[in-house]
Amino acid sequence: MGDWVAFWNSRNPIYVNDRHRDVHYRKIADDICGYVQPGAAVLDYGCGEALHADRIAKVAGTLILSDAAPNVRAALVQRFQDNTKIAVHSPEQVAALPAGSLDLIVMHSVAQYLSPGEADAVFALFRRLLTPRGLFVLGDLVAPRVSTLTDALALLRFAAENGFAGAAVLGLARTLVSDYGRLRSRLGLTRYGDADIVQKLAAAGFSATGAPRNIGHNQSRATFLARPK
């Protein structure tokens, strides 16, 4: 995962402008809120910039934001330094949390950048960290059939709905020749069919089912809901 962490740790063209970045993170935060019970201890693992994490924190008791990229974590600390309900952790700090200390774990748009072995280790960690009645929400899984074109069309629809269609067209062209395009071509994305991810989560001690909708704008991808067995 090191190459991907380096990419997210640097300036990159994934978000075509500030409007895209804002509505992207607002949509994710609002979707996550649908899974948060009042007062819950929540972990958003691989959270990225999480611009609207304060919306989740309003419902949660505590919210831990974790990202592997040091520059992303530094920006999160600065952004939410006055919010006493939000803490920023490295993955190593998350791994050191006490067993059974979290009610909800969300990992959105991360699994595609993990090798199968890395995913196994993360799922096992989450199983240890969740309470017996906790919930693991695994979002934005890429199925074998989902193509780059499908993702691009989903972005263009989202852009048209939110007022940045022109910028999205130019942004997609930039992305194709960016480090992201080169990394995706060289490394690929880890993909899971429904049966594959259910089996993988079962091996980590979870019982999983598909959610009615994916978190975020891209409904060609999938979210799974996993509970400790």
β-strand partners of 139:
108
Instruction: List, for residues 70-83, the tens digit of each pLDDT value.
Output: 999 999 999 999 99
pLDDT at 3: 86
Triad 145, 151, 153: Cα angle to 5°: 115
Q: For residue 103, give the 3-state DSSP assignment.
A: strand
Say whether pLDDT at 181 is over 70.
Answer: no
Give the domain ranges of the chain.
2-228
pLDDT at 179: 67
| 109 contact partners, CB below 8 Å, separation of at least 6 | 46, 48, 139, 140, 216
Residue with tokens 């994710």: 28
Reported as type and span, the H/E element at residue 206 is strand 206-210
pLDDT (average), residues 93-114: 97
Q: For residue 73, give the 3-state DSSP assignment.
A: helix
Reported as type and span, the H/E element at residue 147 is none
Instruction: List, for residues 17-29, the tens digit of each pLDDT value.
Output: 999 999 999 999 9
- Fold classified for 2-228: Rossmann fold (3.40.50)
- Between 11-20, 69-78, 191-200, the lowest mean confidence (pLDDT) is in 11-20
